[in-house]
Structure 1
Amino acid sequence: MTEKKVFYALATVFIAVLCTVGGATLFLLPYPQAGEGLDVSFETLPSEEIPAVVDAALTPPDPPVPPDRAPDLSGAVAGDVATVRSLTDGAPRYYLVPLTRDGGAVAIARVYLRDDGGPKIGSWTLGADDLTAWRRPSLADAEDALRSAGYRDGNWTARWVEMNSEQPIGPYFWEFGKETGETVYVGYDRYDDWVRVYTTVTPKTKAGG
Structure 2
Amino acid sequence: MKGRVIAGAIVLVFLLVIGAACICLSGVPAQTSLSAPEQKTGAHTIALMPDEEDDIPLTDDTELAAFARGEMNRLGIFQNELAGAVPGDPVFVHSLDETRHDYYLIPFETDGFISVIAQVSIKGDVADFSSAYPRSFTTQDVVRPTREEAQEVLLENGYDGNRSARLVWKFCEQTRSSTCPVWEFARDTGDTIYVGYDPFTEEIRIYDALTEKTVMG
Structure 1 SS opposite 2:190? coil
Q: Give ranges in structure 2 of 5+ residues lacking alignment.
A: 1-58
Structure 1 SS opposite 2:149? helix
Structure 2 SS opposite 1:123? strand
Which residue in 2 is equivalent to 1:63?
A: 75
C-alpha distance after superposition, 1:61-106 (max 9, x if no partner): 22323544x41267x3553x322232222853431124458x9456
Structure 2 SS opposite 1:95? strand
Report the count of equivalent residues: 154
Would the aligned equivalents of 2:172 and 2:210 in 1 still touch at CA under 8 Å? Answer: yes
Identity of aligned residues (%): 22
The alpha-carbon distance between structure 1 residues 58 and 50, as it changes in their structure 2 partners (threshold 3 A), is: farther
Would the aligned equivalents of 2:145 and 2:196 in 1 still touch at CA under 8 Å? Answer: yes
RMSD (CA atoms): 3.8
Structure 1 or 2: more strand by fraction: 1
Instruction: Indicate the structure (1 or 2) with the bigger Cα radius of gyration.
Output: 2
Structure 1 SS opposite 2:196? strand
Q: Give ranges in structure 1 of 5+ residues lacking alignment.
A: 1-47
> Which of residues 176, 185, 188 in structure 2 aligns to 1:176?
185
1:162 aligns with 2:173: no
Which residue in 1 is equivalent to 2:158?
A: 150
Which residue in 2 is equivalent to 1:38?
A: none
- Please give the alpha-carbon distance, in whole angstroms, between the structure 2 residues aligned to 1:178 and 1:50: 34
What TM-score, normalized to structure 1? 0.55
Instruction: Measure how far apart 1:58 and its partner are.
Output: 3.2
- Please give the alpha-carbon distance, in whole angstroms, between the structure 2 residues aligned to 1:180 and 1:146: 18
C-alpha distance after superposition, 1:22-68 (max 9, x if no partner): xxxxxxxxxxxxxxxxxxxxxxxxxx847153332232522323544
The alpha-carbon distance between structure 1 residues 66 and 108, as it changes in their structure 2 partners (threshold 3 A), is: closer
Moved over 3 A (4+): 76-79, 90-93, 98-101, 103-109, 113-118, 124-130, 168-171, 190-193
What TM-score, normalized to structure 2? 0.53
Would the aligned equivalents of 2:107 and 2:142 in 1 still touch at CA under 8 Å? Answer: no
- Give, as a single letter, the amino acid of the residue that structure 1 aligns with 2:209: T
- Please give the alpha-carbon distance, in whole angstroms, between the structure 2 residues aligned to 1:206 and 1:50: 43
C-alpha distance after superposition, 1:128-174 (max 9, x if no partner): 784xx323323332112211221133142232x222323x4443222
- Give, as a single letter, the amino acid of the residue that structure 2 aligns with 1:186: V
- Please give the alpha-carbon distance, in whole angstroms, between the structure 1 residues aligned to 2:99 and 2:92: 11
Structure 1 or 2: more helix by fraction: 2
1:72 aligns with 2:79: no
Structure 2 SS opposite 1:51? coil
Which residue in 2 is equivalent to 1:89?
A: 98
